[in-house]
Amino acid sequence: TTDSVDSAAGPKSLDELVVGFAQVGAESGWRTANTTDIQTAFEDAGIELKFSDAQQKQENQIKAIRSYIQQGVDVIAFSPVVETGWDAVLNEAKAANIPVVLTDRAVDSQDDSLYVSFLGSDFIEEGKKAGEWVVEEYKDSTDPVKIIQLEGTTGAAPAIDRAEGFAEVTGADDKFEIVASQTGDFTRAGGKQVTEALLKSNPNVDLIYAHNDDMGLGAIEAIEAAGLKPGEDIKIVTVDAVKDGMQALADGKINFIVECSPLLGKQLVDIVKQVNDGETPEKRIITEETTFTQEQAIEALPDRQY
């Protein structure tokens, strides 16, 4: 019968495979680099990729995942906008026997059978690296160091974890005071708006810690509009290391960047191939990344891909 043929079918050829990818949005330079890298990797591998952009809204992402389930794709990959609220739709994918890969961001589900692999950065580690630079930079200062934190999207894994890692390291010394902490939604406009408002209530701030480059770039605009010098009057530390961020670091307007790599496409293709071959991919694949000072940014910029 056709049934027995189906169950004995084994791996599909790559040009028969269909993968559905539910992206967060296009909120930052990181995100657009991530989208391009994933689309290019699937094109190069000759695997069909269905792509949807959730415009930073969880309900859109859930809709996209449901539609991939309905279309019977072979693998679903997605970068969850926020950590919570995924169990229902992930159980639907499981019931339909469609493996799910988390790329870039985590879900907080207790049941880790709901996804086959989680590929992405260690965001707590990134927050710690930002904090370690701050501790070193102010090691000789006995005065309080007043910090504004520009948070990523509320409830998103990188916003939660980058705050946690930073607080853990800087919290060991009372002189570091986070005087204000607000979300700028990982966008340049958000970073600018929040900084504008917070500078009015906190004119004596020493440093801005932004959870991504784009919000740091928005902060630069707000600082300059207030007649101050970013990188000097107010220091800036960010995460990502996209080209615009690296340029601002090279120009001395940002002081330090913790790298977060958006180049996850090839590794995602590998996971899809493993799943297709009936292999079990590693449950957690952590991206390797570095940090950049001004000198290192100047050196790295000419070869930077994104």
Chain contacts with ligand GYE (rule: CB under 6 A): 27-28, 30-31, 104-105, 158, 186, 212, 214, 239-240, 260
What are the backbone angles phi and psi of residue 225, rounded to the nearest 5°? -65, -25
- Kindly state the smallest distance separating residue 204's Cβ from ligand GYE, in Å: 28
> Cβ 237 to ligand GYE, closest distance in Å?
13
Closer CB to ligand GYE, 250 or 260, in the complex: 260
Please, what is the minimum distance in Å from the beta carbon of residue 202 to ligand GYE?
24
CB of 109 to ligand GYE, least distance (A): 18
Whose Cβ is closer to ligand GYE: residue 92's or residue 108's? 108
Q: Which is nearer to ligand GYE, 158 or 265 (CB)?
A: 158
- 45 versus 81: smaller Cβ distance to ligand GYE: 81
Nearer to ligand GYE, 26 or 178 (CB): 26
Judge contact between 116 and 100, C-beta under 8 A.
yes
CB nearer to ligand GYE: pick between 28 and 195:
28
Nearer to ligand GYE, 69 or 260 (CB): 260
* CB 192 to ligand GYE: min, Å: 15
Question: Minimum distance from CB of 29 to ligand GYE (Å)?
Answer: 7
Query: Which residues of 121-175 form beta strands (DSSP E)?
Result: 145-151
We find the least distance from the C-beta atom of residue 34 to ligand GYE, in angstroms, to be: 7
Q: What is the four-CA torsion angle of 189, 192, 194, 196, rounded to 10 degrees?
A: -140
